[in-house]
Amino acid sequence: MTGDSDETAGEADAFVFFGASGDLAHKMIFPALHRMVQRGTLHVPVIGVASSGWTLSQLRDRARDSIATAGAGTNDGGALDRLLSLMAYVDGDYGDPATFTELRGVLGDARRPAHYLAVPPALFSTVVEGLATAGLTHDARVIIEKPFGRDLASARDLNRVLRSAFPEAAIFRIDHYLGKEEIMNLLYFRFANSFLEPIWNRNYVASVQITLAEQFGVQGRGAFYETAGCLRDVVENHLFQIVALLAMEPPPYQGMGAVQAEKFNVFKAMRPLSADDVVRGQFAGYRDEPGVAADSDVETFCALRLFIDSWRWAGVPWYLRSGKCLPETAAEVLVELQPPPQPLFADATSADGRANTLRFRLSPNPVIALAARVKRAGEAFIGDQRELSLLNAQPDEEQPYERLLGDALAGDGALFTREDAVEAAWAVVDSVLERHHPALPYQPGSWGPAEADALVAPNGRWHNPLPEPAPPL
């Protein structure tokens, strides 16, 4: 999307990231900054802040190790050296005003810093208040990681803290999922092709399914998952964002403001969930994970039925599910169209009962595919469902953090989440976060508890993503 008046003016002239010694910085941030330097899109000071007792030399060593672990930095045209030369470091407690006084000195002549909070959510308020007290919020912007609260009340509290120090246009809420090329292509494909618009509504769409499946479990993060669960960790943010991109009305103009407003309207039109709209599951063995309660009811699988009470989508069910220890690691959208109004032929649907479908394979190996019926050779009017597929793998595409951090430094908020949209999304799930049916057991390697099938039964059955062939080199 091109820029508009909603964007903050000017490029940031410094990048400050709190939590510089943390796991997120090592896994994602240093490699992203390195790629940005390689592409020539990062040329401002990079100031790490942490309370680890480190020196600048140790921070640079951490960056080298991170980039080497990511498989880069050996033949990068000097990008690693350029990144290291941009780096500075401030060590201190986030609750100590002296830390922010030192940061102000290190910033020097920088007047439009971007402050990235790669810290646990419990520290967001502490850091924001420290920045404000030190006078480091004027003409600055702040970047925060999800989760944006853990329910509607905490989301509102977080937004109050952020808005006490920054205008909304200067707040960039990162959901790395929105930075993926495949997710951006949903928005592009939806509005760059005129053939979709006449059928993209309740008259022609029978149902929409979205699956985000993971073969692996909690990978030693049981203590974290006990505080989150699948509904909070994946469905309310990642899957809801996909729904918004598919369900939104055409923006009236180009720019982030129009896109954000239409996404907000989708969230506001979502019918609040009831307990009977949600099936929660827990894979066998989860309670044996370190940090997990012996009687835990936290869901590692969540399936739900969602309705959007708008003119375009009234009555169309949206089926969302995500889970761990499932048969595949894949993300896929299946839009099923209504069958022809008059069945002229005996086999008007496919063997699994589906009419025409549009399938978006988001990961791995992105694909856009239209399933249509074609007649077999011979006199009989019998056909088969065939897919017309468009492979959409992009060589050397930007990675999510590289794209999102670059956009935040440039002041482009199109791929970030707005305050009102955050609260509207939480309002949809708030009533079932605590008042829900118990989590049902399921075996690792299955598609979750069988009770999830009942949700989708009025519209057939779940579409299970299959392994997708790798794109040609």
Is 115 considered catalytic here?
no
Give the active site residue among 34, 115, 176, 238.
238
Measure the CA–CA gap between 136 and 343, rounded to whole angstroms. 67
Question: Considering Cα of 289, then 290, then 293, then 294, what sign does the dihedral take?
Answer: positive
Alpha helices in 312-392 (DSSP H): none
CB 124 within 8 A of CB 158: yes
Measure the CA–CA gap between 342 and 323, rounded to whole angstroms. 38
DSSP bridge pairs for 270: 308
Alpha helices in 30-136 (DSSP H): 30-39, 56-69, 79-86, 97-107, 124-133
Query: 159: Cβ–Cβ under 8 A, 6 or more apart, which residues?
Result: 148, 419, 422, 423
Task: With CA atoms as reference, report the closest residue to 88 among 72, 71, 102.
Answer: 102
How far from each other are the two terminal CA atoms of the chain, in whole angstroms? 30
Query: Exposure string (b/e) for 273-307, b if CB count within 10 Å is 16 or more?
Result: beeebbbbbbbeebbebeebeeebebbbbbbbbbb
Angle at 162 between CA 161 and CA 164, to 5 degrees: 65
Encoded tokens for 98: 């002296």
Task: With CA atoms as reference, report the closest residue to 35 among 3, 58, 63, 12.
Answer: 63
Encoded tokens for 201: 């509504």
Measure the CA–CA gap between 155 and 141, rounded to whole angstroms. 19
Residues designated as active site: 238
